[in-house]
Amino acid sequence: MIFSKEFTSAILIIGNEILSGRTVDKNTSFIAKWLGDLGISVEEVKIIPDKEDVIIASLNELRKKYQYVFTTGGIGPTHDDITSESVAKTFGKKYEYNKEAYAILEKYYANSEFNEGRKKMAKMPEGATLIYNVQGSAPAFFLENVFVLPGIPSYVELMLPQLKEVLIGGKKIISVSCDAKVRESSIAVELSIIQDKYPDIDIGSYPYSKEGGFGTILVMRSVDEDRANKCKKEIETMLSKFVQK
């Protein structure tokens, strides 16, 4: 691992719709990039169904293993939204109306019916801190090191920036890349030699095919921008000796 263990996280995606293949998860990519900018690496992502015992077991595993855990999904108004109650059980906290969340929702639904489903979104573990939805609707929350976010990507994108002051990150993870216009199998050996010279740089090799031709995107990730760029230069020098084979 090239990054300090201290600034680690896991993402727990909760939702049958992802597991069944109906929905492609887009939250992981957004959250991981956003955390990377804060110097927090994502070490593991788990996608699980809306099942209480699985949610509790997963949370207990991940919250001990990593500095932060981010969950998405399951905090809406319907019967299959069981994340908040499961988080309460995980921490052995009461699952009750959060007064501030209740007031927000009561106001939001002032001109329509504030029914049971809508009230349910104000129920959270005792002691939860709200993460606001700037559009005025249901807030998310965090408790200790577990951040409970909605499943809808646009809401996640609205809410995450509020956590910037709460989270403690390390050095920003820099990512530089270049397009090797050759097959990765042509340069595998040479790339491996460079990786050995730069054990502090995480070099990724991602093949692509475009209009019948093959190429490879090389990505150098590090907390040290100078080193990443030095490594990139060395890779470019190596690449200049290759033509598509």
Residues making contact with its own copies (CB under 8 A): 1, 13, 16-26, 28-34, 36, 41-49, 51, 54, 76-81, 109, 112-113, 115-118, 120-121, 152, 154, 173, 175, 184-189, 191-192, 195, 202-207, 209, 219, 221, 245
> Cβ of residue 127: shortest distance to its own copies, in angstroms?
25
> Cβ of residue 123: shortest distance to its own copies, in angstroms?
12
Q: Which is nearer to its own copies, 2 or 129 (CB)?
A: 2
Type of residue numbered 122: A
Count of other CB atoms within 10 angstroms of residue 20:
9
Q: Which is nearer to its own copies, 49 or 93 (CB)?
A: 49
Token pair in block for residue 70: 């981010």
Mapped onto helix, strand or coil, the DSSP state of residue 156 is helix
Count of other CB atoms within 10 angstroms of residue 158:
17
Asked if 103 contacts 132 with a C-beta cutoff of 8 angstroms, the reply is no
Q: Which is nearer to its own copies, 114 or 132 (CB)?
A: 114
**DSSP H/E element including 17:** helix 16-19
Asked if 7 contacts 41 with a C-beta cutoff of 8 angstroms, the reply is yes
Residue at token pair 């990786």: 195
Q: Which is nearer to its own copies, 50 or 143 (CB)?
A: 50
> Cβ of residue 154: shortest distance to its own copies, in angstroms?
8
Q: Please report how the helices 52-65 and 83-91 are oriented relative to each other, as an axis angle in degrees rounded to 10.
A: 60
> Cβ of residue 195: shortest distance to its own copies, in angstroms?
5
> Cβ of residue 44: shortest distance to its own copies, in angstroms?
6
